[in-house]
Amino acid sequence: MLIILIIGLSFWVWYGILKKEWPIIISNGFAVIVDVCLLISLWKYKAKYIR
């Protein structure tokens, strides 16, 4: 689900780039960065908590 969200937000960033709309680019770009950090954290720390 998180990967699908990242893909969708990335498309919004691409749309913002095509339309040259900075609010779309900045807000969705920030969301992509946060979600990618969350995904990396899930992969990194998942092994510690699942036994």
Tens of pLDDT along 10-35?
999 999 999 999 999 999 999 999 99
Single-letter amino acid code for the residue at 48: K
- The distance from CA 22 to its chain's CA centroid, rounded to whole angstroms, is 17
- CA-to-CA distance for 24 and 44, rounded, in angstroms? 30
> What is the structure's pLDDT at 44?
85
